[in-house]
Structure formats: structure tokens, C-alpha cells
Chain A
Amino acid sequence: MYNNSLMPAKNRKPSLDTPLLYSKLKYKHLLSEQSLSQKHPQDFQFLKEKQLIGPGKIREHTKKLLASGALAGGLLLAAPQIGVFQRHHTDISIVRPQLSLQQTLVVKLSSLLPKNVGPLTEDQEKAISRVLYQLFGINAFPQLGSTRLNDVYGFIGAEQHLPRFPGDSVDQHDFCREAGMSPGLGGWGFFAPSRSQLTPELVEKEAYYVAVQTLYLPDWQKRLKFLVDWYKYRKVVVVNPINGKAVVAVVADAGPAKWTGKHFGGSPEVMASLELNVGQQKGPVILYFVDDPDQKVPLGPLEYNLEGEPAMLAKSSQG
């Protein structure tokens, strides 16, 4: 290191009045902070609580996140690839941990869900919505408007195929024929009045359907007409917190009965997507409504491509 005072005068760097500059910059910093807090008080409070306000805070936070990303990768025995390549001292690029979507979901949910299947707190419910948005880009909530199910974290059991039109038989279904056909109709009757009127959209709805316990809703009788319409083909996301598998489906049937110990029913395709189509064909799931007014979220298993489009990618890949 050169000692500036020993260098010839012409090579010396000019000096700064650092205290003066510091006070001016501090003043600017305070003004910007004040402006943010006055204009967006709630948001500011959130940032403050999360320690994202204050000199250097955001930098510290990012460093911590990177460290925790490495930890999560290690815990799952996946090969975490977190690389921080310093090209200049202002330019750092990050390769995010290469956890699979399912692994990430399992890690996140395990820290949010209670030990046993049962009711969730409001904070837990909100946190799960955030996780689902973060990973899949979908807006999913336990309650839409004034409407919610009695259970959002419960057991799902296997259902059979539903008759889609008069004269439908299991042989006419493309997949999971071994599950058989329900002797009764779905909660909203046939999906189409005849085979010729069965559209590909309706085929998908029957393939990815769930049954929910509308019959036990406290306001079911009081708001019957409204709720019957509201629940018909209502889009939901079902998540298996054990393996991180998730699927988008619609409500097309009512049930199961309380005495079964189950809270939801899943079509053969839904159960296969969740990998719950083996053994007892029953398991814990989270079931949230998908807020999708523009019908952009397709039915089927949820997939997410880290390198691709950030928006949720869901496709029917059932075979």
C-alpha cells in the first residue's frame, strides 16, 4: 500500500471532506426514507419489521438468504449450486439453488404446517398462499370472498370416475380405468347432456375433479342457491405436503361423509398426480381455491420450470 502523504504531490489523489459528504448523504437517505414511510406507511412497516430498511440491511439480508439456500439444499441431500461470481465489486450474479419444485415445497410447508392434520391459523394460511404464489405463480387462498370450506388441511381419499354423459362407461375414459365408475352422478349431474356435447374442457374437468364437503358448510342451507352455483367447477389446487406434488382441479362432487375420517375426495387422475393412488389411497393434503377469473391456470399436475417462464406452468401429463 502506498502512503499518500509520501507520494509526490502530482500523484496524490485529491481529498474529500468525508464528514461533510457523510452528513449530506445521510440527510438524503433520511429524506428518502421519510418519503417512503409517509407515502406507504403499511409497506414501510413491513420492510422495517423484516429489517430491509437501514444502511446495508438489504445487502445483509440477501447474504443470509444465500446462506439459507445452501442449507436447505444440504438438508435435502440435493446438490446445491449456489455460486456468487464477483465480476466487479458491483456486479454479482447468483445461480439459485437447484432444488426441485417438490423439494422446495416440502421444505417450505414443513415449517408452516402443524404436526397433525387439522385447522390452520390465519398466519399459516396466508403463508401457504405466499408459498404457492412464489413457487407456482398462482393466486390460491383458503377463502374467496365470504366463501370458505370447513377444512383446508385434511385427508383426501380416492374417488371413482364420474359419468360424464348418459350412457358413459369406464371403457370410454382414457386413463385410470381400473378405478371404476361411480354408480351415482357427480354433485352437479352429468358434465354434458350427450356424448356429442362433451367438450375437451369437460373431459378435463371430470379427469381432474375433487369432492368437497359442501354439505357440512354452516351456511349451505342458508345460501344454497348461491353456493351451488359458486362451487360448481370451482378451481382448486391440491397439494401433498409429504412429497410436494400439486395438482389443479375443479369441484365436481360433494363428499366424503364425515364418518370416513376424510375431508376431500380426489378423482383417479388427481390421486395419481399426488402419488396417493397406492396403498390406502388416502393422505394429507392442502386444498385452496384458485383465484383465476381469466381462466389462465390449466387443470392438471402443477409443474414449474426454473429456467422457463416465471408464470405457473400446469399441464395435463397424466398417462
Chain B
Amino acid sequence: MSDIFYNHLISLREVIDELNTYEIESEEKEELLGLIDQTFHHHILQLILDYLPKEYHEIFLTHFHQAPYDPELLIFIKERVVIDIETVIKTKAAQTKKEILAEIKKSKKKKR
């Protein structure tokens, strides 16, 4: 996975481990993980933009574009939001992960 500043809050380890329990081509797995990764990305970005005051959006997104891995981004957000953004991200990530794990399990082929 790419190293994004909030990666440590949204570990996809369980999702990867779950996919690894199935017989699946590595390219297919890559494709599925790409979708999952980006879905997380949308959710987390939306959360951040929901809480971050509008006047800081441009500077945040510009910096994010320039250095998505920069830990200062999280500090920048934390200094400007009134909630505990790390906990909110973790909670959202856990919920998304739960839904995705459920979808994977439901897609298991039934034995004939």
C-alpha cells in the first residue's frame, strides 16, 4: 500500500490476510486491494474535509498532493479540528473494514 499520512490508523492487514486464505490470482488480488484502498481513501478524506474548516481545505489538499506521506498533515488537521480526528478515522476505518470483510466472506464459493 502507498504510504499515506494516515496509514497507521487504517491497517488493512486483516483484509489482506482474509484474501490470502482464498485461492485467488495475484493480479485479481491486486485489483481488489486497489479498490479497497481507494474506498478507504475516499472515506478518510471525506471525514477530514467534513471536520476541517473550509478555509484550510485548499492548503491541506495542496500539501497532500505534494507530500501525501507527510506526518505534518495529521498535525495540521489536529490543530484545526475540534474533535479527536485520529479516533474518528480509526472508527470509520474499522467500520469500513468490517463491511469489506463481510463482503469477502459472503463471496466465498459454496462447495458443490
Contacts and interface: CB of A to CB of B under 8 A. Distances in A.
Of listed B42, B50, B62, B63, residue having the most chain A CB within 10 A: B42
B2 A59 contact: yes
Contact of A62 (B69, B76, B99): B69
Interface residues of B, number: 54
Contact of B28 (A18, A50, A310): A18
B84 to A, nearest CB: 19
Interface stretch (A8-16, A113-121, A162-170, A190-198): A8-16
A134 B65 CA distance: 11
B94 to A, nearest CB: 15
Given A47-B45, A55-B35, A90 B13 contact: yes
B42 A36 contact: yes
A40 B59 contact: no
Interface in A30-49: 32-33, 35-36, 39-40, 42-43, 46-47
Interface majority SS (helix, strand, loop, mixed), chain A: helix
Interface stretch (A19-27, A73-81, A254-262, A266-274): A19-27
B9 interface: no
Given A32-B43, A65-B68, A26 B35 contact: yes
B49 A39 contact: yes
B101 to A, nearest CB: 11
A14 B23 contact: yes
B32 interface: yes
A232 interface: no
A43 B32 contact: no
> Which secondary structure characterizes the binding site on chain B?
helix
Contact of B21 (A14, A47, A130): A14
Contacts of A6: none
Interface in A271-313: 310
Interface centre among B22, B41, B68, B76 (most CB of A within 10 A): B41
B100 A33 contact: no
Nearest to A139: B59
B35 A25 contact: yes
B35 A17 contact: no
B22 A25 contact: no
B38 A21 contact: no
Given A4-B23, A55-B38, A46 B61 contact: yes
A66 to B, nearest CB: 8
A17 B68 contact: no
Contacts of A12: 23
A35 to B, nearest CB: 6
A70 B94 CA distance: 35
Given A18-B28, A21-B107, A39 B50 contact: yes
A10 B24 CA distance: 17
Interface string A54-78: 1111110111010000000000000
Q: Which 10 A-B pairs give the minimum distances between C-beta atoms?
A: A32-B42, A21-B107, A59-B2, A310-B72, A55-B34, A13-B23, A15-B109, A62-B2, A56-B34, A16-B22
12 contacts: A12-B23, A14-B108, A15-B23, A17-B109, A25-B39, A25-B103, A47-B45, A47-B61, A52-B64, A58-B2, A62-B2, A310-B72
Given A42-B57, A90-B1, 14 more contacts: A12-B23, A13-B21, A18-B107, A22-B32, A25-B32, A29-B38, A32-B43, A36-B42, A39-B50, A43-B45, A47-B45, A55-B31, A134-B62, A134-B66
Interface of B: 1-4, 11-13, 16, 19, 21-25, 28, 31-32, 34-39, 41-43, 45-46, 49-50, 57-59, 61-69, 71-72, 75-76, 99-100, 103-104, 106-109
